[in-house]
Amino acid sequence: MDFENRIYSGTLKNRITSARDAAGLIRDGMTVACSGFTACGYPKAVPLVLADRVRRGETIRINLITGASVGEELDETLASLDIIARRYPYQTGPIIKRSINDGRIMYQDIHLSKLADQIRCGFLGRIDVAVIEATAILEDGSVVPTTSVGNSPVFIEQADRVIIEINTTQPAELTGMHDIFVPGRYPHRQPIPITDPAQRVGTTAVPCDPRKIAAICPCDIPDNPRPLAVVDEEARAIGHYLVEFINGAVRGRVCDDLPIFQSGVGTFANVVLEEILHSDWTDILLWAEVIQDGIFDLIDSGQLAFASGTSLTPSPEGLKRFYEHISRYRERIILRPQEVSNSSEVVGRLGLVTMNTAVEVDIYGNVNSSHLSGNMVINGIGGSGDFSRNALISIFMTPSTGREGAFSRIVPHVTHVDHTEHEVHVIITEQGVADLRGLDPRERAVRIIENCAHPRYREALMDYYSRALRRGGHTPMLLDEAFRWHLNYAEKGDMLPE
């Protein structure tokens, strides 16, 4: 279906222009909000024009706001040309990450559920231009998203002007997969009436005042999703322990049969979904932010009843598979605004069992999911806090070591806390499961060390803990040794040098 046929409003056809002219609306110093959540559904043509203008000598520095991370054309290309002055709420990519850690980009890492209200309530200033990738524009000006919804509704609502990139590589059959519910103004907001992941409560397109649409341009660049990493045995072991834990401690115990699950982003989370494929679970419900390859497998196997997210996040092969069988998959998937998919309200109500990945965990169960060595941000907290904080059971998974065993991911004290002991109920590594529910910190320490730490580090962890215990207190710690292991790694390349 070609470009012009995707614009159902006759009057809006006079806003058709080239990506170059559309990008002309963006000037130095502006705040630009773009669709996209992971490398799906983000604008591509307009950002590449911006990059081109800078390469030709123009100075452009913008504040860039998105749903979460986006594709390379946007974050990596613009960061490599120093176009991004300020960035919210999340990012991924080696170039932008370096710019942030070097201080060339100011970045605030914000709970993904919270950004929409922070924009609506003016915390981040005005949005000059929203650039939204769309499948189509309907007669009343409303915009059909593509492979993600993210923050597009609030961006369109709040921006002074809107640029629509109609991406003709995105199948027209995406129409109808979205459910756009936009909460009202504080303080007398109504409930989000969702009680089931399959429930529809909104419209299939994002409402948009047609007078705001300043430009509509075509784009024929496909989504550029990230490949899945090679799956190792550790990830499989963790997936195996997860299924075992749910079967033994959750299924039929905390609710009638299976709880509703949330599953995080990335290779690791995907492997866990693959392990679920080998379980006897059926009628699985997922309430999450991303829909990954593993979900397509669970649809094909007949085990998944329904998955709700704000974005697809397949591998390149997964995206191809999704496009080929879209009529089958769309029956079991809804994409929602991230202020709904990640909302505290719905997460709390559904009683989720959440499964997220940790960078490191300490012996009391505090989780670092964003920083290396305390100072270097990797990506950010993303949606992990939205889900874990309001979950019924919050599970964090990580291999017990990294860098061929040179560092332990179970440490005496995490260098950065993203999830506190209060919202971490279960830790799983390839060594085993630490179910921390109901335990005192001193009991947690012993259980985490015994069940989750790698044998190479177990004795040293217990030695630290025992000496801390002699100092006393509810949460024993040694102020002068808390980060000794991290210092060892920084200085000698090993947390426990010989």
Q: Among residue numbers 459 through 478, which ones bind a copy of itself (CB under 8 A)? A: 468-469, 471-477
For position 38 contacting a copy of itself by CB under 8 A, the verdict is no
Q: Binding to a copy of itself (CB under 8 A): which residues in 109-128?
A: 109-111, 117-118, 121-125
Among the options 289, 360, 423, 430, which is catalytic? 289
Which CB, 128 or 133, lies closer to a copy of itself?
A: 128
To a copy of itself, the closest distance from the beta carbon of 241 in angstroms equals: 19
Name the minimum Å distance from CB 260 to a copy of itself.
5
Kindly tell me which of 10 and 438 has the beta carbon lying closer to a copy of itself: 438
CA-only gyration radius of the chain, Å: 23
Closest CA to 410 of 481, 357, 458, 478: 458
Q: Compute the least distance from the CB of residue 112 to a copy of itself, in Å.
A: 10
The rounded distance, in Å, linking the Cα atoms of 201 and 203 is 7
Cα–Cα distance, 466 to 30 (Å, whole number):
55
Figure out which of the listed residues 13, 27, 104, 189 binds a copy of itself, where binding follows CB under 8 A: 189
Q: Which tokens go with 284? A: 């699985």
Interaction of residue 259 with a copy of itself, rule CB under 8 A? yes
Contacts of 324 (CB under 8 A, 6+ apart): none
DSSP for 195-222? -STT---SBSSB---GGGEEEEEEE-PP
Ramachandran region of residue 66, left (φ > 0), alpha (ψ -120 to 50) or beta? beta
Nearest distance from C-beta of residue 417 to a copy of itself, angstroms: 4
Residues in region 332-351 near a copy of itself by CB under 8 A: 343-345, 347-351
Q: Are strands 31-34 and 62-65 parallel, antiparallel or unpaired?
A: parallel
- 385 lies in the site for a copy of itself, by CB under 8 A: yes
486 touching a copy of itself, by CB under 8 A: yes
- Residues between 430 and 459 with contacts to a copy of itself, criterion CB under 8 A: 437-443
CB of 17 to a copy of itself, least distance (A): 32
Instruction: Give the span between the Cα atoms of 101 and 375, in whole angstroms.
Output: 8
The beta strand positions in 325-458, using DSSP E, are 333-335, 353-357, 360-362, 367-368, 371-372, 376-377, 393-397, 401-402, 407-408, 410-411, 426-429, 432-435
Confirm or reject binding of residue 493 to a copy of itself (CB under 8 A): no
Residue 134 in the binding site for a copy of itself (CB under 8 A): no
Which of 45, 418, 427, 433 binds a copy of itself (CB under 8 A)? It is: 418
Amino acid, single-letter form, for residue 18: S
**Contact between 485 and 397 (Cβ < 8 Å):** no
- In the range 45-104, which residues lie near a copy of itself by CB under 8 A? 86, 88, 100-103
The smaller minimum CB distance to a copy of itself, of residues 242 and 260, is found at 260
**Contact between 279 and a copy of itself (CB under 8 A)?**
no
Q: Does 269 bind a copy of itself (CB under 8 A)?
A: no
Is 193 a binder of a copy of itself (CB under 8 A)? yes
- Number of residues lying near a copy of itself (CB under 8 A): 89
Among 35, 142, 148, 415, binds a copy of itself (CB under 8 A): 415
> Among the candidate windows 4-12, 40-48, 173-181, 193-201, which touches a copy of itself by CB under 8 A?
193-201
Select the span of 1-9, 74-82, 153-161, 377-385 touching a copy of itself (CB under 8 A): 377-385
Q: For residue 407, list its beta bridge partners.
A: 402
Alpha-carbon distances of 392 from 261, 272, 345, 395, rounded to whole Å: 10, 19, 13, 10
* 106 touches a copy of itself (CB under 8 A): yes
Known catalytic residue: 289? yes
Q: Between residues 176 and 248, which has the closer beta carbon with respect to a copy of itself?
A: 248
Question: d(Cα 311, Cα 66) in Å, to the nearest integer?
Answer: 13
The encoded tokens of residue 430 equal 């390839």
Contact 77, 45 (CB under 8 A): no
Counting DSSP H helices and E strands in the chain, the numbers are: 17, 26
Tell me the C-alpha distance between 114 and 433, whole Å. Answer: 31
Among the listed ranges 20-28, 38-46, 185-193, 230-238, the one in contact with a copy of itself (CB under 8 A) is 185-193
What whole-number distance in Å separates Cα of residue 120 and Cα of residue 189? 13
Q: Which is nearer to a copy of itself, 178 or 389 (CB)?
A: 389
Q: Which of residues 389-408 bind a copy of itself (CB under 8 A)?
A: 389-390, 392
- Residue placing its CB nearer to a copy of itself in the complex, 22 or 411: 411
Q: Choose which of 256, 280, 404, 498 interacts with a copy of itself (CB under 8 A).
A: 256
Task: Give the active site residues.
Answer: 289
